[in-house]
Homo-oligomer: A and B are copies of this chain.
Amino acid sequence: MEKEELFETVATLLVSGGYQQLRAVLAELEPFDLAEICEQLNESHLPLVFRLMTKDKAAECFTNMDSDLQELLIKRMSDAELKAFLDELFVDDTVDIIEEMPANVAARMLANSDPETREQINRILRYPKDSAGSIMTTEYVRLNKNMSVADAFARIRRVGYEKETIYTCYVTESDRTLVGVVTAMDLMLAETDTLISDLMETNVISAKTDDEQSSVVKKFSDYGFLALPVVDGSNRLVGIVTVDDAIDVALEEATEDVEMMAGITPTDKPYLKTGVVSTWLSRVPWLMLLMLSATLTGAIISQYEEALSHLVILTSFIPMLMGTAGNAGGQSSVTIIRALSLGDVVPGDILRILWKEARVSFLCGVSLAVVGYFKAILLDGADSLVALVVCITLLATVVAAKLVGCCFPVLIKKIGFDPAVVASPFITTVIDALALVVYFAVATALIPTL
């Protein structure tokens, strides 16, 4: 059944009062689809539809909703309802929701969580925004190495329904020191009296609570895990990150990188759900900054007003030279920013990066200079002296632009900032100025009349 049809069915059943049938329809659906349907419903119908879902589906559906809708639903719940509802949510999802709520709603949610959960929520909320700790959940299966496989199954069955993943179980000492990992597959394929200590893998790959989220994603990609344990400074297990969160983080981080490269302050919300004013606010500061920094290029041109008025054809090459230098530098900076964020290169590789970019930029520069020379003469009607100036400028600026483009992100990363912040448009301003300076220097050196 298509989603629109489904929505029609739900709407019709709501009006006709066919609640039993509606309950059956809802029971068949995935939480993500339920959330989409809820977002289209009339607000007055929402609490009713929500009550017709099973408890765990309602909780999962809720985590997939818009924060506005979540707020509305929470406000309609009595304290008792909220308490029961929060028990169904996973701790990491509760944290995500609390982060989006206004202070009074967040406080009410915390007040209605049971004390142990509240403490876990508060701990996760304290981790920095982009850290492994902030996306972990504290719900996982913890085993003891002296258990048998049968004991392990008994524990999984007992806690199973409440845990976000039971497919990877962690073996800890009594002080929670992480000593091993056992998968559900290992358990299913083993004899029931095997000891966990004989079954467990002791070389456990883990993340630290303050590791960057991108390094967590890289571990999932490298090792193909379904869950990654998160430990504190003394190797004590404090939580796990599950693979579904890793995918979301991978997509979000890529979007953030792309947005920052284009001079946009990243937002969490999907495009059509962001308001006009917040989109404006995420874009205008960068445009303003870049416009003001273009004062530099303007000033350089003003300095050469005299020369330009003698030989106006020089002006017509300015956009092409600045554009080419900007594109060349952008290619290098974007490549390096992405490679840094995937962990393909680290700041220590700077010399290898420079050596590679030096050769690539030389090849690019020579190719462009040759084509640029003939283009200037044949297409733009320049004489051979002006064409030579263009040609030399192209080679010099492409090399300079690519070297600046590859160094900048590495330096920024080295001093601890996100390289994407300073990317394309920003580097472009530097490179634009560079291109102009080189152009006028070459022109005044080679053309005697200037």
Q: Which residues of A contact B (CB under 8 A)?
A: 28-32, 64, 153, 156-157, 160-161, 166-167, 184-185, 188-189, 202-203, 205, 217, 220-226, 243-244, 246-248, 250-251, 254-255, 257-259, 261-264, 270-272, 276-277, 279-280, 283-284, 286-288, 290-292, 294-295, 297-299, 301-302, 305, 308-309, 312-313, 315-320, 322-324, 327-328, 330-331, 334-336, 338-339, 342, 344-345, 349, 352-353, 356, 359-360, 363-364, 367-368, 371-372, 375, 379-381, 394, 398, 424-425, 428-429, 432, 436
Contacts and interface: CB of A to CB of B under 8 A. Distances in A.
A349 B28 CA distance: 29
A436 B30 CA distance: 52
A276 B357 CA distance: 8
A244 B250 CA distance: 12
Contacts of A288: 367-368, 371
A430 B372 CA distance: 20
Contacts of A286: 327, 331
A79 B331 CA distance: 44
A185 B160 contact: yes
Nearest to A202: B28
Contact of A287 (B30, B272, B364): B364
A324 B290 contact: yes
Given A224-B244, A284-B368, A334 B28 contact: no
Contact of A247 (B243, B271, B330, B398): B243
Given A279-B360, A301-B315, A291 B157 contact: no
Contacts of A264: 331, 334-335
Contacts of A277: 363
B203 A189 contact: no
Contacts of A255: 254, 338, 342
A319 B297 contact: yes
Nearest to A32: B222
A356 B272 contact: yes
Contacts of A394: 291
A298 B380 contact: yes
11 contacts: A160-B189, A221-B247, A258-B261, A280-B364, A287-B324, A287-B327, A287-B398, A298-B317, A301-B315, A319-B322, A424-B424
A286 B368 CA distance: 11
B203 A287 contact: no
A167 B225 CA distance: 13
Q: Which of A301, A368, A394 has the most CB of B within 10 A?
A: A301
B248 A323 contact: no
A153 B380 CA distance: 76
> Which one of A153, A161, A217, A262 has the highest number of Cβ atoms from chain B below 10 Å of its Cβ?
A262
Contacts of A161: 189
Nearest to A364: B284
Given A254-B251, A312-B305, A335-B271, A295 B221 contact: no
A165 to B, nearest CB: 9
B315 A270 contact: no
Given A356-B272, A380-B298, A331 B184 contact: no
B305 A316 contact: yes
Contact of A323 (B185, B205, B432): B432
Contacts of A184: 167, 184-185, 188
A271 B202 CA distance: 33
Contacts of A353: 271-272
Nearest to A290: B327
Given A262-B327, A290-B323, A315-B315, 14 more contacts: A29-B203, A30-B203, A246-B247, A254-B255, A257-B258, A262-B334, A264-B331, A283-B364, A291-B368, A294-B320, A295-B375, A295-B380, A323-B432, A330-B424
